[in-house]
């Protein structure tokens, strides 16, 4: 019996959602991406199930090279030509369902990118074209998306995102890191998308700027948009996410409410990642992740897992959001065993 | 001691450092914190002899630095090693990871394959990774190679400029442990530059904080 990991599903039904938002949803089922190389196949994403809904932020966390960014680019149809995508990604909006896997580029360009799904890029300062002002680029985006009065609309967007309209007349190198971030947010929102994909939006920013960027994402959620945040920064995820999905070697190994996954994880990898934080035990997980060209047949984490046994030679089923043959016991949020300062692997090591 | 006295560095009309003095002691880890743009990386580059200041002096174990970058005398240059924030910008993309790690010792005429292999193992790099080039490995794996490279000439001082900012929690904990193990066995001085106060409070013996100039 395998139940899909459905991060972002109605975990807090009490939170009110705008009525129009009820019809909007992005749902991935068994999303799989591989790249064919001359002598090998890279299995970047294996059977990912998740759901993103308005008013909520799902953070996808994991180490670099685990397949997070590939997953994000698959949603926008922005993968290189040798990518093979299978599974389903359904974009539900305005009473319609659009299958994104295999959708023609023309459909993605006209209906999805920028209009339904906006992309907040990695390192905003380098994402902008260096030889044109922020305004030229923002107005171009607005024109392409069919805005009637791009100049006025650009000023509005700037003010809405904490920039002075005059700041838009600067070139990217004249913007501070925080200002470049705000320009990138304004550009992502130029087509008023209901879903925002933020791919490592904080890399290279210092902690106060990370906090500000996360607060901006939270505001977007609170005004009824959906946010899919991709990050390796657990503290950033903690600040903004309602739900967290942990990715390891192309698979989602644990997903659920942020407080649970970040503070009381049950998958040994998620627990090891939590314990490695400098405000926790600060101990690394032994070993390295497997090559995506040579994934083991069974659990991909087994070679690094102190609790691995014979059962781990076959892929683990997903139960209660955890894909593991021997998850850590469920901990009570208020119980003594659930303290976030405790090293979750301690009992195993003893 | 690695000492900077009355250092001034200007970018155009803006002073990034203004008559700043700083001492890095051997055997200890000193944290350097503060917001972006406060001059942390500028000081890191001056201390690693990569940037000539407009005025002021740097002394390495009592010897005053007179040449910078490739003009620094080899015995001073190899006493200080630097690990950068972005490993991809800090390596030659044509070299394999094994060649990246061995590069400084080869350049110094002190090639030592056993030591390179031991460092690779200590940073967690497996044999099959060592034959790859930078585009075939992740940021975390490449930064492991950069740390092994920085330790290959057994520097007296190691400057880590936002070494783990781009890395996940587990790789961060591993690389900090590798640097601390090296410091303990060699008595080297470590400068940990980071904007992450939580990390510095866990890593450094003492932390100096810069404000914006």
Nearest chain B residue (CA) to A293: B136
Using the predicted structure, report yes or no on whether residue A284 has a pLDDT greater than 70. yes
* 8-state DSSP, A113: B
CA atoms B132, B134, B136, B142: torsion sign: positive
Within 8 A of A207 by CB-CB distance, chain B residues are 195-197
Give the Cα separation of B120 and A73 in Å (integer). Answer: 33
Within 8 A of A279 by CB-CB distance, chain B residues are 198, 202
Within 8 A of A277 by CB-CB distance, chain B residues are 169, 173
Give the Cα separation of A98 and A24 in Å (integer). Answer: 11
Number of domains comprising chain B: 1
Per-residue pLDDT of chain B (213 residues; tens, 9 = 90+): 999 999 999 988 888 899 999 999 999 999 999 887 788 989 999 999 999 999 999 999 999 999 999 899 988 999 999 999 889 999 999 999 999 999 999 998 888 999 999 999 999 998 888 999 998 888 889 999 999 999 999 999 999 999 998 889 999 999 999 999 999 999 999 999 998 899 999 999 999 998 765
Give the Cα separation of A140 and B13 in Å (integer). Answer: 34
pLDDT at B213: 55
Nearest chain A residue (CA) to B86: A204
C-alpha triplet A22, A23, A26: angle, nearest 5°:
105
H or E stretch at A256: strand A251-257
Query: Contact A278/B141, CB-based, under 8 Å?
Result: no
pLDDT at B128: 83
Say whether A91 sits in a helix, a strand or coil: strand
Give the Cα separation of A311 and A302 in Å (integer). Answer: 10
Among partner residues A209, A278, A288, which is closest to B199 by beta-carbon distance? A278
Q: Are A73 and A197 in contact (CB under 8 A)?
A: no
Q: Is residue A142 part of a domain?
A: no
Give the closest residue to A302 by CA, choosing from A268, A336, A256: A268
Within 8 A of B171 by CB-CB distance, chain A residues are 63-64, 284
Within 8 A of B167 by CB-CB distance, chain A residues are 63-64, 232
Nearest chain B residue (CA) to A278: B199
Nearest chain A residue (CA) to B142: A64
Burial label for B103, CB within 10 Å (0-12, 13-18, 19+), is middle
pLDDT tens string A196-207: 999 988 876 777
Percentage of residues of chain B with pLDDT beyond 70: 99
Query: Contact B170/A63, CB-based, under 8 Å?
Result: yes
Percentage of residues of chain A with pLDDT beyond 90: 66
DSSP string, B69-83: GGGS-HHHHTTEEEE
Among partner residues B137, B173, B201, which is closest to A283 by beta-carbon distance? B173
Domain containing residue B70: CATH number = 3.40.50.300
> What is the pairing mode between strands A25-37 and A83-93?
antiparallel
Q: What is the ipTM of this complex?
A: 0.89
Interface of B with A (CB under 8 A): 35-37, 85, 124-126, 128, 137-141, 165-174, 176-177, 195-199, 201-203
Q: Are A98 and A77 in contact (CB under 8 A)?
A: no
Q: Is residue A256 part of a domain?
A: yes
- Interface contacts (A, B; CB < 8 Å): 81
Within 8 A of B198 by CB-CB distance, chain A residues are 235, 278-279
- pTM reported for the whole predicted model: 0.86
Among partner residues A208, A273, A278, which is closest to B198 by beta-carbon distance? A278
Q: What is the CA radius of gyration of chain B?
A: 17
Query: Contact A208/B35, CB-based, under 8 Å?
Result: yes
Among partner residues B170, B196, B199, which is closest to A272 by beta-carbon distance? B170
Number of domains comprising chain A: 1
Residue A258 Cα distances to A8, A174, A186, A307, angstroms: 10, 37, 27, 24
> What is the pairing mode between strands A195-199 and A25-37?
unpaired
Distance of residue A153 Cα from the nearest chain B Cα, in angstroms: 31
pLDDT tens string B17-49: 999 999 999 999 999 998 877 889 899 999 999
DSSP bridge partners of A230: A60, A199
Interface of A with B (CB under 8 A): 62-65, 176-177, 203-209, 232, 234-235, 272-274, 276-279, 282-285, 287-288, 291
Query: Contact B199/A203, CB-based, under 8 Å?
Result: no
Give the Cα separation of A76 and B99 in Å (integer). Answer: 38
- Structural domain containing residue B95: 2-209
Give the Cα separation of B178 and B182 in Å (integer). Answer: 6
Taking each helix axis as running N to C, give the angle between helix A150-160 and helix A177-188, from 0 to 180 degrees, rounded to the nearest 10.
Answer: 130
Among partner residues A177, A232, A283, which is closest to B167 by beta-carbon distance? A232
Q: Is residue A75 part of a domain?
A: yes
Domain containing residue A267: CATH number = 3.40.50.300
Q: Are A38 and A83 in contact (CB under 8 A)?
A: no
pLDDT at A342: 42
- Structural domain containing residue A88: 1-123+196-208+222-350
């Amino acid at each position: 019996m395998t139940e899909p990991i459905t991060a972002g599903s109605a975990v807090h039904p009490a939170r009110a959602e705008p009525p129009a938002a009820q019809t909007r949803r992005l749902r991935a089922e068994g999303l799989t991406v591989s790249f064919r190389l001359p002598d090998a196949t890279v299995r970047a994403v294996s059977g990912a199930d998740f759901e993103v809904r308005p008013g909520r932020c799902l953070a996808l966390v994991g180490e670099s090279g685990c397949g997070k960014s590939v997953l994000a680019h698959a949603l926008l149809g922005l993968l290189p030509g040798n990518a093979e995508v299978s599974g389903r990604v359904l974009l539900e909006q305005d009473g319609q369902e659009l299958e994104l896997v295999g959708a023609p580029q023309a459909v993605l360009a006209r209906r999805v990118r920028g209009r339904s799904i906006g992309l907040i890029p990695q390192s905003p300062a380098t994402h902008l074209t260096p030889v044109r002002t922020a305004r030229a680029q923002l107005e171009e985006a607005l024109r392409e998306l069919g805005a009637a009065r791009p100049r006025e609309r650009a000023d509005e967007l700037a003010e809405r995102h904490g920039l002075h309209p005059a700041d838009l007349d600067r070139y990217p190198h004249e913007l501070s890191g925080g200002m470049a971030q705000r320009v990138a947010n304004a550009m992502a929102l130029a087509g008023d998308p209901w879903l925002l994909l933020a791919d490592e939006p904080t890399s290279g920013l210092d902690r106060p700027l990370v906090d500000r960027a996360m607060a901006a994402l939270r505001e977007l959620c609170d005004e009824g948009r959906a946010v899919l945040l991709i990050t390796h920064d657990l503290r950033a995820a903690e600040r903004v996410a309602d739900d967290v999905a942990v990715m390891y070697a192309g698979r989602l190994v644990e997903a659920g409410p942020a407080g649970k996954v970040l503070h009381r994880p049950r998958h040994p990898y998620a627990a090891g990642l939590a314990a490695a934080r400098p405000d926790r035990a600060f101990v690394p997980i032994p070993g390295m992740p497997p090559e995506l060209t040579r994934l083991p047949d069974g659990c991909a984490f087994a070679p690094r897992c102190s609790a691995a046994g014979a059962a781990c030679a076959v892929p683990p089923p997903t139960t209660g959001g955890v894909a593991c043959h021997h998850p850590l016991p469920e901990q009570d949020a208020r119980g003594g065993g659930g303290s976030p300062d405790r090293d979750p692997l301690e009992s195993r090591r003893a | 001691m690695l000492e900077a006295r009355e250092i001034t560095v200007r970018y155009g009309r803006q002073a990034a450092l203004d008559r700043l003095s700083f001492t890095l002691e051997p055997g200890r880890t000193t944290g350097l914190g503060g917001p972006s743009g406060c001059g942390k990386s500028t000081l890191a580059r001056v201390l690693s002899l990569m940037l000539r200041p407009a005025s002021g002096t740097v002394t390495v174990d009592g010897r005053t630095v007179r040449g910078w970058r490739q003009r620094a005398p080899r015995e001073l240059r190899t006493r200080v090693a630097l690990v950068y924030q972005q490993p991809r910008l800090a390596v030659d993309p044509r070299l394999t990871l094994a060649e990246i790690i061995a590069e400084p010792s080869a350049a110094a005429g002190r090639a030592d394959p056993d030591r390179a292999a031991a460092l690779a193992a200590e940073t967690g790099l497996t044999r099959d990774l060592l034959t790859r080039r930078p585009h075939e490995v992740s940021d975390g794996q490449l930064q492991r190679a950069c740390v092994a490279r920085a330790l290959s000439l057994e520097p007296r001082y190691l400057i880590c400029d936002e070494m783990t900012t781009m890395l996940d929690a587990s790789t961060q904990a591993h690389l900090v442990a590798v640097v601390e193990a090296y410091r303990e066995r060699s008595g080297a001085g470590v400068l940990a530059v980071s904007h992450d106060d939580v990390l510095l409070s866990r890593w450094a013996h003492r932390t100096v904080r810069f404000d914006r100039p």
